[in-house]
Copies of this chain bind each other. A is one copy, B any other.
């Protein structure tokens, strides 16, 4: 049933700076200072955003002497991917004539996805 993304995941990704951070960390792990330089953010602000990402489980920290090296933890993104799955048929059906390639996106009967996320 593939757990839907945690609310924290969504709110973490809602911010452009945090998405940019994730983009940089996807390339390679980086210390906070590198991120401060790359994005044009103050160090405290950067740390706070990293905190949000960390608490959402999107990044992991490993301490290297005084510096903290952050790297992406893809797990919440897997959940996002799963969340997206049922919507995928909405366009793959029409645009992708090849249809059902044998990935997870098996063609299920309509209107029976997990109701998910209903508050």
Contacts and interface: CB of A to CB of B under 8 A. Distances in A.
Contact of A91 (B20, B77, B101, B102): B77
Nearest to A28: B111
Q: How many copies of this chain?
A: 2
Interface in A75-89: 75, 77-78, 80-81, 84, 86-88
B14 A10 contact: yes
Given A77-B90, A103-B101, A16 B117 contact: yes
A55 B39 CA distance: 28
A51 interface: no
Contacts of A16: 7, 10, 117, 119
Interface of A: 7, 10-11, 13-14, 16-17, 19-20, 22-23, 26-28, 39, 72, 74-75, 77-78, 80-81, 84, 86-88, 90-91, 101-103, 110-113, 115-119
